[in-house]
Structure 1
Amino acid sequence: MEYPRFTFNPKEGIDNPALVISDDPEPHPCPVPRLCQLKRAEGQGFGFRLRAVQGKRGHVVREVEPHSPADMGGLRDGYRVLEVNQEYVDNMEFPELLRKIQRCGLRVFLLVLREEEYEQAVSWCLDLQAVARSHRGDNQDHKARLCHVTRNPVQGLGITIRHVQGQKGQYFLSTLTAGPAERAGVRNGDKLIWVNGVTVANLTFSALNKIFKRSSIYVTLLVMDRESESSCIKRRIPVVPDLAQCLGLAHRPKTMHLVQGPDGYGFLLRQEKLSVSGRIVHLLREVEAGSPAEEAGMEDGDMMLAINGEAVENMEHELIVQRIRESGQRVSLTTITLKGRDYYRQLDLSPLLFYDEDIKEAQNGPDDVRNLLSSSGPRLCVLDREAAGFGFHLCCVQDKPGTFISQVASGGSGQRAGLLGGDAIVEVDGQNVEDRSLEEVGTLIKGGLTPLKLLVVERTEGGHLGMNGPPETQVGRSHIQQYFPSLTFQC
């Protein structure tokens, strides 16, 4: 059998049509996330909305206000949030993400992807957590450390400060073996970044020594080793306590889980103005002996920080009271002493920043407490009609589909059935009402069977991260329509 002969012409190339030379396909370019630092003033908001788009992955940034902290920090409309303070949140439930940003206080770091990069990464089935991790390297130990050192009567703080001659603001620490500093997490040779909230880069050695001497009981230090410093410089990650590994702080907040008794919870919540600073705070007063509040460990004069994991320090007093009442017969309160709040103000940190684990105890505790704080997926609630009705109010957003539960009466049929303020109604007695008007849904409920069967789902469509204070409200079109306090979430 004869085979055809192939000839090579340098002008025409190889004349065998069966031979095709092609380059290997280019690998998918890995998207490059960016880190946005948002810092707001007391009483100011971050200035953007965060939305969870139904049927799609991710948390979407919307409506960035011009000249706001979000705008100045580089946040843009359509960005998708991957991390909050170096914690991966793309798979986090939307309400919990909003609460997490609230708990960051006056400063938050968001790792984001542009919308088109995010959509491409999803279509290519990339591991977004790996993409986020690549921004700061695989070694998670390369972080600054926040260490709280308590002075020992004999050993002192157990550290010696070394100043690098000729280099202003360059201070390194030597530790006493098994001394207070070493036990608190400070390592021999660590670089000192700040002490008690004061950055040391612009301090003279004499000024730095004065700070340590004035701290007669304890100091809080931000330190890092050389490898961590090199990693942060290479990846342009700021060295701040918000992104540090927290190894312990003083004056920790406490979370109490209260079950309402026959006479209520047994305490008063008062709005008071502090005489020294003039700040308005919300304090717990008149804790009754033998009450649920006393049994949970509540102390007179403590300051309210959060209700069911939601930060309320900057809310109006009436809204805080409303949040407690909406909780029904169980509520989780996070509080701190006034001395403790001053400690965190000195450090320029939110007292809730490193307190996620204790707050999550409420969400991971008994079923009744966990269901109070979070409900995911549709829920079927069965209600009996009583003399006062079913014990809830309806509302809607003008010119938009959907009917929602605005208020649930304490002790009523709605509360016992598990309705929560903000729930969206999907079905009434088996009939889908997602596209029905408020009037139609109200008529179905009033004329429905007893018991009434409502299929509801927690509303997680949008959260507003704008100004502090009362959540936005919208007024609808019916005599049964009420204000909808859970329409937006604000920081």
Structure 2
Amino acid sequence: MKENAAPAPGLELRLCVLKREKGESFGFHLRIEKGCRGHVIRQVEPWGVAERGGLRDGDRLLEVNENFVDDFEHIEVAQRIQVGGAQLCLLVLGGEEYDQAVSDGLDLRALTRGHRGQDCARPRLCHITRDHSAGMGISIVTVEGEKGRYSVSTVAGGPAERAGVQRGDHLVWINGAIASDLTQTAINKMVKKCGNHLTVLVIDSESEKSYARRRMAILPAMAGTHNLPHRPQRLHLVQGPEGYGFLLRQEKSAAGRIDHRLREVDADSPAEKAGMRDGDALLAVNREAVESLEHDDIVHRIRHSGQQVTLTIIHTQGRDFFAQLGLSPLLFYEEHLHKIVQKNTTAPSAGPPKEAQADLPCPRLCVFERGPTGFGFHLGCIQQEPGTFIGQVAVGGPGQKAGLFQGDVVVEVNGQNVEEEYLEDVVLLVKEGGWSLRMLVVDRPGYKRLKQSGIPITPSLIPHCTKVEETVDISVM
């Protein structure tokens, strides 16, 4: 592939900003067409949101909210659009231009980087956990002479800096509110009343100029995430003699939000064995987002899935967390393993081929309940570095019975990846889990081999969990 810092002559990358009102659709279809590479824009409604935003029939979609998607699975691209909120920023090429660029061997990812500027970094969505001694480790002040713009200072090595906030960043968004809509007094009150956690969207001042130049709003959907808790989980269920062992209910929260909750999870059922808990919120069925669907539509999708189904869920605390921020939990959730395995079939240098994965170490998913004296293990870490391992395992305790060994590297706690988390945050996750715990671990030599392979460590690597999934061909927006 040829590296290009800017579009080649004759290529017109177009930024299309789409804003829809409540109850309104974006007004286009996204398709994968036989014999046609890329994600194709079709059926742009006359005078609709998409046409007003500049989309044309036959365009190829390159980016969704600053995320390059040309090499993504179609279903993942559709999901990004579905959960992105009321505003989308789409970067596209005309159909003929796209085909010519591919024919010429141009690097499409490099073209998109050139469009926004090589030095433009993504905004960062950072979740800060209060430290009893250092507080949040952040102060927010008004940019001199610029009403509604705020700059951030951090304590060196403090909670904010560990969460990804950098000194001199500009504050875009705080706990779900747009910073420019707030006064300094209001922001100070939010920080004081936020309890033990604060979530902010920040960006460096130079990158902010790139967004201003392109007249783009800086949205949470564009962000890279740092230290964000409560990740969704993907559960693979195979129907038993009595079904899957749960009920689906549509419920309204105290705040008036409609959720699809999983209830009455039967003991020893496929649902419980996969990790489902009573009260979990259902987000997707077979990787198709269902948060906005009606109850009967979701039931129909599950029933017509056959003898097995893949459900994407999030535990109650996680659903409430994202609801407070006004974001979909699916916004930052990606099936990393599927993408890398897909790339390995065409790019051997990126990691081991599919057949070589059988020779890689296998992680272990340990599921257990708290005993009278706890879970029966202690966590350890290397001072001042992210990453957690099993320090000690009590003989005969729940941890040992579940398969934990001293020295194991902790990869996930209750479905959330913790490889880049600090010890105190991992301990907090364990405590938040209550009486039950699910830990994905791997021995230290195996962990090093898997990291060198480039394959993300997820439960999907465990042989009995692995399942080949197919993408859908057409997604209607």
Task: Compute the TM-score of the two structures, normalised by the length of structure 2.
Answer: 0.67
From 223, 227, 230, give the equivalent of 2:209: 230
The answer for the alignment partner of 1:315 in structure 2 is 293
Query: What SS class does the counterpart of residue 146 from structure 2 fall into?
Result: coil
| Residues 341, 105 of structure 1: alpha-carbon distance in 2 compared, 3 angstrom cutoff | farther
From 159, 168, 182, give the equivalent of 1:203: 182
Cα deviation, residue 33, structure 1: 1.0
Q: Is the 8 A contact 2:261 2:281 kept in 1?
A: yes
| Residues 273, 357 of structure 1: alpha-carbon distance in 2 compared, 3 angstrom cutoff | same
From 86, 109, 114, give the equivalent of 2:66: 86
Counterpart code for 2:112: A
Cα deviation, residue 272, structure 1: 2.7
Cα deviation, residue 73, structure 1: 2.5
| Residues 291, 213 of structure 1: alpha-carbon distance in 2 compared, 3 angstrom cutoff | same
The answer for the alignment partner of 1:70 in structure 2 is 50
Q: Does 1:128 align with 2:118?
A: no
The answer for the alignment partner of 2:412 in structure 1 is none
From 227, 240, 249, give the equivalent of 1:261: 240
Q: Does 1:31 align with 2:15?
A: no
The answer for the alignment partner of 1:297 in structure 2 is 275
Query: What SS class does the counterpart of residue 147 from structure 1 fall into?
Result: strand
Structure number with bigger Rg = 1
| Residues 213, 350 of structure 1: alpha-carbon distance in 2 compared, 3 angstrom cutoff | same
The answer for the alignment partner of 1:114 in structure 2 is 94
Identity %: 52
| Residues 202, 263 of structure 1: alpha-carbon distance in 2 compared, 3 angstrom cutoff | closer
Counterpart code for 2:58: G
Cα deviation, residue 237, structure 1: 4.3
| Residues 314, 180 of structure 1: alpha-carbon distance in 2 compared, 3 angstrom cutoff | same
From 352, 370, 373, give the equivalent of 2:467: 370
Cα deviation, residue 67, structure 1: 4.2
Counterpart code for 2:39: H
Residues in 1 aligned to 2:232 and 2:208: alpha-carbon distance in whole angstroms: 31
Query: What SS class does the counterpart of residue 135 from structure 1 fall into?
Result: helix
Post-superposition CA distance 1:284-329 (Å, at most 9, x none)? 1111112221222211112110112110112222221222223333
Task: Compute the TM-score of the two structures, normalised by the length of structure 1.
Answer: 0.65
The answer for the alignment partner of 2:41 in structure 1 is 61
Counterpart code for 1:284: L
| Residues 102, 156 of structure 1: alpha-carbon distance in 2 compared, 3 angstrom cutoff | same
Over the aligned positions, Cα root-mean-square deviation in angstroms equals: 2.8
| Residues 111, 48 of structure 1: alpha-carbon distance in 2 compared, 3 angstrom cutoff | same
The answer for the alignment partner of 2:475 in structure 1 is 463
After superposition, residues 60-459 of structure 1 pair within 5 angstroms as: 60-139=40-119, 142-274=121-253, 276-357=254-335, 360=338, 370-371=467-468, 373-374=469-470
| Residues 69, 91 of structure 1: alpha-carbon distance in 2 compared, 3 angstrom cutoff | same
Deviates more, 1:287-296 or 1:36-45: 36-45
Query: What SS class does the counterpart of residue 330 from structure 2 fall into?
Result: coil
Counterpart code for 1:55: G
Residues in 2 aligned to 1:357 and 1:296: alpha-carbon distance in whole angstroms: 18
| Residues 56, 96 of structure 1: alpha-carbon distance in 2 compared, 3 angstrom cutoff | same
Cα deviation, residue 197, structure 1: 1.8
Q: Is the 8 A contact 1:51 1:59 kept in 2?
A: yes
Residues in 2 aligned to 1:362 and 1:78: alpha-carbon distance in whole angstroms: 39
Q: Is the 8 A contact 2:27 2:48 kept in 1?
A: yes
| Residues 91, 124 of structure 1: alpha-carbon distance in 2 compared, 3 angstrom cutoff | same
Post-superposition CA distance 1:153-193 (Å, at most 9, x none)? 22111112222343212321211121110110111121111
Q: Is the 8 A contact 1:32 1:131 kept in 2?
A: no
Between Structure 1 and Structure 2, which shows a larger proportion of helix residues? 2
Q: How many residues align?
A: 352
Residues in 2 aligned to 1:190 and 1:28: alpha-carbon distance in whole angstroms: 33
Q: Is the 8 A contact 2:67 2:222 kept in 1?
A: no
Post-superposition CA distance 1:395-429 (Å, at most 9, x none)? xxxxxxxxxxxxxxxxxxxxxxxxxxxxxxxxxxx
